[in-house]
A and B are shown apart, each in its own frame.
Chain A
């Protein structure tokens, strides 16, 4: 287990290095000069040169990248922005705040959003999928299957404003989505994020309903499930202890992959509801060709996905003893 973790973490670091280097290099392939953004409307060449120097952009690319890397460990000092304490991912070109701080500030929002949505997706998707599998061929199964198809065809940017209009503006059932720190008020946190959770989870939930259902149906036809019946295990035991375990393996695997997609969905959801999360940062960074922010968000996003995948692998081994972490 320890060996597995060490190897996976080392591999992850290599991946993150490659991602950051590629992002860094690609950014400089874009034919535009970020220093321009720090120069007044009538920009004199010497001012532009000064800004490049202030930003460390007058150095060769690999030196700049090296500075970026060492900054993470040792911090940096920018003339343009002032001190950047470690871990320093640089200053945003657009908002001129430390990238690391910006990400840390917004992390709870995206985390709340994705974790909450994951809970909705897994809880709701798996439960409805199980119900559908339990009642295969019956109306309940058909309703679950049909609604999962409808759900999968919905889009966040369509459902989001629609639900907001009815539930928030017209019926005033729930508060307008926003982020209230859970430390401030767990209740407010919950009620203000309800709508984003539901909206973000809608398309995924349907998928998980479908997947759980088909996996359960498949597992119920497996030999070992028949054995369990032959042993006199009750239907419930067979369903929840045997078949469920088997069905969860592909679900966990796919969820590991979907986490990346979920983060993508979080971006759209944050935009839809004006939530100030990492997704919003990412979109803005792209719009503004804001390299430090882009790099920071990319690295944090990649780290999150890599870490979550390690977690999923561990979880996988936990569910399926045939998988050995060695």
Chain B
């Protein structure tokens, strides 16, 4: 098992460090209505061969963060600050040529809905092969052979014929496998999987996640797994980052975060998740309220409008001051409640449910 170190000093030059290091990343979109603060001061690290699960509701900044790593935001409407280091390469300041060479090659991405994310106009084989040709300079024939090999590797039967099929001729699970094959065709060091199983039914979900794990063990790929499903994280990830309103709410190892969640938002996420061992007649408790507007984020802790315990931290604190994550390494969270308060509240709610 690998450990995750959370560095507290952003912006310093790097010696040998984590494989991927995101430092104080901010992403702002300018829209007609104003500026959207999609990601606000986010930092995290990732080591080779490990999986980081990023969890949060829609609009919490999970996907935006990862598109920033790939450099896929439209520069005309987006302002990105902070640093993203991939080993000794800084990605935010990198030129478009450099990024093109990295994308699909060292960093690959798997998208949520393989039906829309694959081009309907080109065969699966071509879509896989062109990545290989682009980055490895392979010939058409080599690319096709590689595509067949990749399809076989991700468990697609009769890859020699399937390679010439179009995405609409594949089932949902097969499409996602093809998508994974496409992402892995150049043996990337970093794989970003953006809700790779959301669009799939449960049995297929498990197969896909198993496949990812298997490939990781084989090639030592670092994986960022974006999901809103803590169950997926529990089974797959080594570390977890819980995001809320573009910020990190809690982070730690899977065990730490799922066993001893500290942030009230994490509690909410966990209690909204069905468990096998809990009675069926106990209703799930989703987090009340709606995610905050990122156009006009609330002052203070962004979670306070939905938090049941904001008063406990003091009369003003949660409403005016924005908490940052602490401690800076290991299991940390961004909440003004004391550890004891959190432990007590947590025990109480868990008992409630039981």
Contacts and interface: CB of A to CB of B under 8 A. Distances in A.
Interface of A: 137, 222-224, 226-235, 242, 245-246, 319-322
Interface in B116-133: 116-121, 130-131
Interface of B: 70, 72, 76, 96, 100-105, 108-109, 111, 113, 116-121, 130-131, 134-135, 166, 168, 182
A235 B102 CA distance: 14
Nearest to A221: B74
Nearest to A242: B119
Contacts of A222: 116
B117 A232 contact: no
Nearest to B131: A231
A224 B104 contact: no
A230 B96 CA distance: 12
Nearest to A220: B74
A230 B104 contact: yes
Contacts of B72: 226, 229-230
B258 to A, nearest CB: 30
A230 B118 contact: no
A230 B103 CA distance: 6
A224 B120 CA distance: 8
A231 B130 contact: yes
Contacts of A228: 119
A245 B103 contact: no
Given A232-B101, A232-B103, A321-B166, A227 B118 contact: yes
B105 A232 contact: yes
B166 A230 contact: no
A231 B103 contact: yes
B182 A224 contact: no
A228 B130 CA distance: 10
Given A223-B113, A224-B116, A227-B111, A232 B121 contact: no
Given A226-B117, A231-B130, A245-B119, 19 more contacts: A223-B113, A224-B117, A227-B111, A227-B117, A227-B118, A229-B70, A230-B70, A231-B103, A231-B182, A232-B100, A234-B100, A242-B121, A246-B120, A246-B121, A319-B121, A320-B120, A321-B121, A321-B166, A321-B168
Interface centre among A224, A226, A231 (most CB of B within 10 A): A231
A223 B121 contact: no
A232 B113 contact: no
Contacts of A319: 121
13 contacts: A224-B118, A227-B109, A227-B111, A227-B118, A227-B119, A230-B111, A232-B131, A232-B134, A234-B100, A242-B121, A245-B121, A320-B121, A322-B120
B111 A223 contact: yes
Interface centre among B105, B113, B117 (most CB of A within 10 A): B117
A322 B168 contact: yes
Contacts of A322: 120, 166, 168
Contacts of B168: 321-322
